[in-house]
Amino acid sequence: MENINRLQKEKCTGCSACAECCPTRSIQMLYDDEGFLYPFVNTTCVNCGKCAQICPVLSDVAAKGSYPENGYISVARDQQISFLSASGGGFVVFASWIIEKMNGIVFGCVMDSDFQVFHCSTEAIEGLSEMQGSKYVQSDVKKTYTEARNFLESGRYVLYTGTPCQIAGLKCYLEKPYPNLFTVDIICHGVPSPIVFTRYINWLGCQYHRKIKSYRFRNKTIYGGSYIIKIVFQDGKILYKNPMKDIYYRSFLDGLSFRTSCYNCPFSQPNRISDITTGDCSTRSLYSKFLPFPAVSSIIVNNLNGETLWAAVLDQFDSMEIDLEEEIKKNRQLNRPCEYQKACKRRLEMLNSSQFQEIAREISKNDSFLMKIYFSICVSIPQLYRKRIIFYLKKFTSRWPSIINLIDKKTGSKKEISEFVKK
């Protein structure tokens, strides 16, 4: 067998490099029963072996990554950029430099009005807002590898952003280095199904008897954190939702809804394929200067190309060099993939069969009392003692690490927090 069928399904990341490189266009990316894209080889295949050669998993490109050189805790000095970003605004700063200073092209992930998540490109600063912010859904890269190569061949500068497996897919597809290419990957926990997300949005709209216009996974407008969901309805109503009570988001945070390959991801390790890696900083508590900010980025420089990009935009950040080894140790996905749990199979089956109400009951039964305790403590405890309280909460309640991010900073009244917990 000389085609991509050599790759075991459970190892396929869905990067689409095989389909993009096929000289006879014999490979299609099609959704399976769980809602993830996989390559399908049709009868026009001539078994040239190109797809298998390009595949990042079969070629073990992860083993060729670079160990990071430096790491920084950072937040964009432009408050508008940092406010609208999931973390510290690194993406927009990098992308703006590529467009404004280098007359380049930026590739990133967007979500359209039908809640389809995919990659596209922009040459305009105005186009960056749609790419900004976290989208916890696997993105379809479509034809962006080919588009990026065409721009690179014409001499244009390109910034391509995505998950580590998407960056690996791009680089394998290109087959050679380009001095005018910059790549930034995210610290990826795993990718849920886009079809499940669409079903959930439709179900959620029915629960509120309103059509949903937009769903933002991370929002900084209330409660001081960045893990608050913001849902805007077509009639203009806005709902701020507790992520630990949101069925889809909670399944993501608990690591129960990922693609099979995510649980054995070869890219969840210190050696990186991209020029720069960015995500939430897991050691922020060590750097008191940055504690006032609701969310900050960890920017990890992986190679010389990354150093060039970082040096070009350094003056646009408040930043400090971090203990890189400690960050890699604390930031789980920088050293190992998410662990497969016994509950994963059942939760994914429930999500795919739209048993959202049953999942909601399970979540409410397991966590509601604990969460009320969390919020009560953090509303009533003075700021002076909260850091120590949160330290022990993290230490003894590792099952719910994400909730700590919500209560890390006192921002609302007891009434506001109480109402928020009930949503």
Structure tokens at 79: 């408050």
Which region among 39-48, 132-141, 218-227 has the lowest average model confidence (pLDDT)?
A: 218-227
- The yes-or-no verdict on residue 331 having pLDDT over 50 is yes
Q: What is the pLDDT of residue 214?
A: 95
The larger pLDDT score, comparing residue 84 to residue 343, is at: 343
Q: What is the pLDDT of residue 414?
A: 41
The secondary element (H helix, E strand) that includes residue 230 is strand 228-233
- The yes-or-no verdict on residue 381 having pLDDT over 80 is no
Residues 242 and 419: their CA atoms lie apart, in Å, by 10
276-280 and 181-186 strand pairing: parallel
Kindly write down the DSSP assignment for every residue of 35-46, as one continuous string: S-EEEEE-TT--
Q: What is the pLDDT of residue 382?
A: 44
Q: Which domains does the chain have, with CATH numbers?
A: 4-62 (3.30.70.3270), 63-192+258-334 (no CATH), 194-256+355-422 (no CATH)
pLDDT-derived band at 409 (thresholds 50, 70, 90) equals very low
pLDDT-derived band at 296 (thresholds 50, 70, 90) equals confident
Q: What is the pLDDT of residue 400?
A: 43
238-241 and 228-233 strand pairing: antiparallel
Q: How big is the chain, counted in residues? A: 423
The larger pLDDT score, comparing residue 260 to residue 2, is at: 260
Angle, CA 63 vertex, CA 58 and CA 65 arms, to 5°:
120
Q: What is the pLDDT of residue 229?
A: 87
**Mean pLDDT for the chain?**
86
- The yes-or-no verdict on residue 217 having pLDDT over 60 is yes
- The yes-or-no verdict on residue 30 having pLDDT over 70 is yes
- The yes-or-no verdict on residue 201 having pLDDT over 50 is yes
Tens-digit pLDDT profile for residues 103-130: 999 999 999 999 999 999 999 999 999 9
The arithmetic mean of pLDDT across residues 277-301, rounded, is: 84
Name the residue among 104, 113, 235, 202 with its Cα closest to residue 158: 104
pLDDT-derived band at 392 (thresholds 50, 70, 90) equals low
